[in-house]
Amino acid sequence: MSQPIVIGKRKSRFKELAQAAIPGGGNLDLCLTCSSCVNGCPASGISDMDPRKFLRMVLLGLDEEVLQTPWIWWCSMCQRCKRACPMGVDIGALVFMARQQWSRENTPKGIQKSCDLHLEFGNSTGIRREDWVSLCADLVEETRQQEEDWKDLPAPMDKKGAAYYLNQNAKEPTVEPEEMIPLWKILHEVGIDWTYSSEQWDAVNYCMFSGDDRDWEAVVRRQSEIVDDLGCKTLINTE
């Protein structure tokens, strides 16, 4: 059973901050309290919190509670609540705003670590450049040798001027490298001229979720520079 919200004396800052930052002028005041968001949210009820309650707490100026609840990490920002809302209130953006207010030290360690590894190694699991290159080379060589029909299979690395730049979720080479081969086969069969980058090849960006926009941008910017350096016209994001 959900508990009532208790309000004491306090000064609110987060609501104004959020309304200035959320696209569309910050539509938080439009909430009709209809609970369409709650009913369609898989995070509703996880530790006595739900999207409507979170929004009401923001509107009531309960900054301390809003900025301390770990529920913002239990919401996946999937935006089903926004879609269900008759007024289009963007609670996912509000949750992201709250994540931005958390210090780097308090951000869940796993998310921050994946982001930090991406910034350092060009991928979120911290695979070293030479390991990525040799893994792809070994996999494609094995396939060519073992499968009669795929003696001509390529897995290009840093191929200048390739039409398509392909990236790959870093979990694939880390935990199930053989799962990349079917993708290579399809691209080859349909005649796609593609390449990986040896430096920046991860399809995910955990810096999107940690709440630090500078880190997020750094990852996107570096990847786009690599695509330009290779001269690729199109980026295929596999995630």
Partner 1 sequence: MIDPSWNKEGIKVTCQDPCNLVRKGLGDGVADDLRFVIKQVVGEENFVDMWPNKSNNYCCGGGGGYLQSGFVEKRRAFGRIKFDQIQATDADIVVTPCHNCRSQITDIGQVYGGKYQAVHLWSLIVKAMVRKSTATPL
Residues that bind partner 1 (CB under 8 A): 40, 42-43, 46-47, 70, 73-80, 83, 108-111, 113-114, 149, 169, 171-172, 179, 182-183, 185-186, 189, 203-204, 206, 208-210, 238-239
Output the smallest distance, CB 175 to partner 1, in A. Answer: 9
For partner 1, the closer CB: 195 or 210: 210
Half-sphere exposure of 65 (CA within 13 A, CB side): 18
How far is it between the farthest Cα atoms of the chain? 75
CA distances to 9, 107, 207 from 123, rounded to whole Å, are 46, 19, 11
Q: Give the helix ranges, DSSP H, for the chain.
A: 14-21, 36-39, 51-59, 63-66, 80-84, 91-101, 109-121, 129-146, 171-175, 181-189, 207-210, 213-230
Strand pairing report for 164-166 and 234-236: parallel
For partner 1, the closer CB: 109 or 233: 109
Say which residues have a Cβ less than 8 Å from residue 5's Cβ, sequence separation at least 6: 53, 56, 57, 60, 62
